[in-house]
């Protein structure tokens, strides 16, 4: 089974991937690794610094589509693939595929102030990409990410893909999303 977790940055995708590994011994892969490798090593593909995740998604989709099609057809090992570069409109072609399950995570119901507090709480690690952001930059980021979450929620409703909102009780929502993926 291939489990796909798309969604907004800082919504819990990596936490869900780690949960799958710890609780269910299911490995995971973050599409950020592939995106960044392409960005740095294959500039002809067209990913450029400053592009939005949605713009990168448009470029990366043919590659991700092929990976998912191959996994569905030939591979029966369990794998969770998560990242910000999936769009519901594209993943909808895999709805109903018996070998692929899809969810999106976001936080369309949180206030920017609370999201900033959540981000600050999480940035304790040295490798966090927001660790050098000041309060103004974090607030701008929070506003942008909330809007992206609203977009994903709307698109998921449009295409019949399950959306989980992690605005409140992220740990319990992560478990709900895991149960949905494992039982659907």
- CA angle, 182 as apex, 179 and 184 as ends, to 5°? 95
What CATH number is attached to the domain comprising 11? 3.40.50.300
C-alpha to C-alpha distance for 184 and 178, rounded to whole angstroms: 10
pTM: 0.92
Indicate if the pLDDT at residue 175 is higher than 60. Answer: yes
Other CB atoms within 10 A of residue 83 CB: 25
- Tell me which residue range forms the domain holding 43: 2-183
Domains held by the chain: number = 1
Confidence of residue 125 (pLDDT cuts 50, 70, 90): low
Other CB atoms within 10 A of residue 63 CB: 15
Could you give the percent of the chain with pLDDT greater than 90?
A: 77
pLDDT value of residue 104:
98
Token pair, residue 127, equals: 């490798």
């Amino acid at each position: 089974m291939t489990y796909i977790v798309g969604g907004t940055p800082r919504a819990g995708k990596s936490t869900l991937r780690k949960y799958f590994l710890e609780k269910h011994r299911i490995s995971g892969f973050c599409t950020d690794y592939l995106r960044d490798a392409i960005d740095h090593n294959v500039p002809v593909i067209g990913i450029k610094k400053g592009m939005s995740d949605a713009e990168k998604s448009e470029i990366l989709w043919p590659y991700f589509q092929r990976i998912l099609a191959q996994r569905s057809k030939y591979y029966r090992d369990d794998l969770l693939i998560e990242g910000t570069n999936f769009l519901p409109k594209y993943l909808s072609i895999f709805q109903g595929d018996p070998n692929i399950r899809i969810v999106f995570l976001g936080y369309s119901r949180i206030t920017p102030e609370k999201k900033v507090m959540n981000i600050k709480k999480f940035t304790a690690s040295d490798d966090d990409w927001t660790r050098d952001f000041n309060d103004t930059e974090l607030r701008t980021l929070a506003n942008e990410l909330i809007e992206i979450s609203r977009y994903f929620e709307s698109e998921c409703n449009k295409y019949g893909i399950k959306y989980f909102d992690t605005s409140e009780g992220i740990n319990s929502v992560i478990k709900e999303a895991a149960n949905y993926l494992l039982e659907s």
